[in-house]
Structure formats: C-alpha cells, structure tokens
C-alpha cells in the first residue's frame, strides 16, 4: 500500500543526568510524532518530563520508546530475556511515560520499541507477542510502531492493536526487509540527498532498494529520522521540505492509520 500522507518521527528524550544526547528542541518542529525514551536505555525522570512538555508546546504527538536496561550500550546490545521479562519491562516503561502524559493532560499516541528490542522482536514471534500483549494490556488504543512487514506488526495485529509500519530514512536495508546491522559498512546512509530520495521512493512507490540491489516491498506509515547525528537538524528540515514538495502530507500517526 502506498501512502500520500505519512508520519515523521524521531527518538527524543535520550539525554541522561549531565549527559546531553540529541538536539531535541531543534528537531521537534519538523516531526509529527516523538518517541520518548523511558529510562532503561536512556533518559531519566526529569528528561522524560521535559520532553513530554516539549512535545505539548510543539503540538507533537507523544509515544513511549521502551528499551532493554542497558544504559552503557544505549539499548543496542542483544539481551537474552524471557517473554515474561520483556512484557514486564515494556509495561513498566510505558506506564512511566503514561504518567507524564497524564500530568500534562495529553493522551499517549503510540509505543515504539528501541534498538535491540525492536530488531529482535522484528524476527522473534515470542518477543513480538510479549511486546504486543504488554501494550494492549496497558491501553488497547495505543498504536504499535514497528519495522514494516515485521513479525512485530503481525503479532500486534493479532493481539488487536492498531499498527503502523515504520521505514528508516537513513538506514540501509537487507533483502529480507530488515535493517543492515550497524556493525557493517554502509549500515547508515551519510548522504542526505540519497536518504531523502530513498524515503520519497518508499512513500510514493512502496519499495526500498536493499544493499544488494533487491527491490523490497515496503509500507511507509511512518518515517524515522535520527535526532542525534551531526547533521540531524539539517536532515530533518530537508526531509520535511522535500516530502511537502512532493505533495506528501505529514501528520501524526493517529491520523495516518485511522
């Protein structure tokens, strides 16, 4: 399915104590949804509170971004956890951010797992099911945001959740539709022009060209851009402007998958 309306999301609130990560205030004007870290892979209560308020001030929809308890590895290292543990981890983090949303009189829009949790659940049915059940039990109205065409999307649908297929503006794809691991050369696309043209292709034509040249069918409900790169603000502005020029409307997830 090809959309002419799309959500533009970024992972925000990933600073911690005295450590600043990302350029949240500069990036947020260009996105329609924010994935807010919940304290396990990054963030702390004060950062969470500040990021939710930032979202409210910019009329940006807010979602939880739960990860593995791995501050040192930024949640990007695989962990061997049971489905029961994973479910509890997700509910704990979603509940924490939900409290800040309630305090600011807004309703949380979505949940997007982070890093290794996201990538593992894309391929592992038990983990995907655990995440979907965790979200559904907290609030069945939440949208689960996952890798386009992944098992996480499939399990979320079976659980009864609304889902949104996510694509990545600045990440390379493998022939099976998964992301090229960051440990491999070419995993992150550094050229902004190439990243933007690939993104427009995904939205308008419904496929992405994998690293081996294979054309992989893809559904772009939401585009992720990373807010912690050196050129994050320039890239966010460029992506926003080029999508708009192409007649692609940028809207929060709830208006894309309604």
Alpha carbon of 198 to those of 1, 71, 79: distances in Å?
17, 32, 32
What is the average pLDDT value for the chain, to the nearest integer? 94
For residue 16, pLDDT over 60 is answered with yes
- For residue 2, is pLDDT > 60? no
Asked if the 5-256 domain carries CATH number 3.30.465.10, the reply is no
Per-residue pLDDT tens digits for 67-126: 999 999 999 999 999 999 999 999 999 999 999 999 999 999 999 999 999 999 999 999
Structural element, H or E, at residue 112: none
Closest C-alpha to 37, from 123, 150, 114, 110? 114
Instruction: Note whether 235 and 170 are within 8 A (CB).
Output: yes
What per-residue confidence (pLDDT) applies to 234?
Answer: 86
Assess whether pLDDT exceeds 90 at residue 242. Answer: yes
**1 has pLDDT over 60:** no
Per-residue DSSP letter, 100: H
Give domain limits for the chain: 5-256
Question: Could you read off the pLDDT of 171-199 as tens digits, one per residue?
Answer: 899 999 999 988 888 888 888 889 899 99
Residue 92 burial (10 A CB sphere; 0-12, 13-18, 19+): middle
The predicted model gives 50-74 an average pLDDT of: 97
Residues constituting the chain: 258
Phi first, then psi: what are they for 224, rounded to 5°? -95, 130
Q: Assess contact for 62 and 53: CB atoms under 8 A.
A: no
Distance between CA atoms of residues 205 and 190, nearest Å = 22
Phi, psi (5° rounding) for residue 237? -65, -45
Confidence at residue 229, expressed as pLDDT on a 0 to 100 scale: 66
What's the rounded Cα separation, in Å, for the pair 43 and 13? Answer: 6
Q: What is the pTM of this model?
A: 0.94
């Amino acid at each position: 399915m090809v959309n002419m309306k799309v959500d533009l999301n970024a992972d925000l609130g990933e600073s911690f104590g005295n450590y600043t990560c990302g350029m949240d205030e500069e990036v947020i004007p260009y996105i329609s949804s924010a994935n807010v870290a919940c304290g396990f892979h990054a963030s702390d209560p004060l950062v969470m509170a500040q990021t939710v308020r930032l979202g409210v001030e910019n009329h940006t929809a807010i979602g939880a971004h739960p990860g593995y308890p791995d501050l040192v590895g930024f949640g990007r290292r695989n962990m061997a956890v049971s489905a029961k543990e994973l479910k509890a981890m997700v509910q704990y983090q979603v509940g924490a951010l939900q409290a800040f949303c309630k305090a600011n009189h807004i309703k949380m829009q979505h949940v997007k797992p982070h890093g290794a949790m996201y990538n593992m659940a894309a391929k592992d049915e038990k983990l995907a099911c655990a995440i979907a059940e965790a979200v559904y039990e907290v609030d069945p109205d939440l949208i689960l945001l996952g890798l386009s065409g992944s098992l996480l999307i499939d399990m979320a649908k079976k659980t009864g959740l609304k889902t949104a297929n996510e694509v990545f503006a600045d990440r390379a794809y493998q022939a099976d539709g998964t992301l090229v691991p960051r440990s491999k050369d070419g995993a992150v696309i550094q050229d902004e022009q190439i990243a933007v043209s690939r993104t427009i292709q995904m939205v308008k034509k419904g496929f992405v060209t994998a690293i081996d040249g294979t054309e992989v069918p893809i559904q772009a409900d939401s585009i992720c851009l990373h807010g912690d790169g050196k050129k994050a603000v320039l890239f966010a502005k460029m992506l926003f402007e080029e999508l708009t020029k192409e007649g692609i409307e940028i809207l929060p997830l709830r208006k894309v998958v309604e």
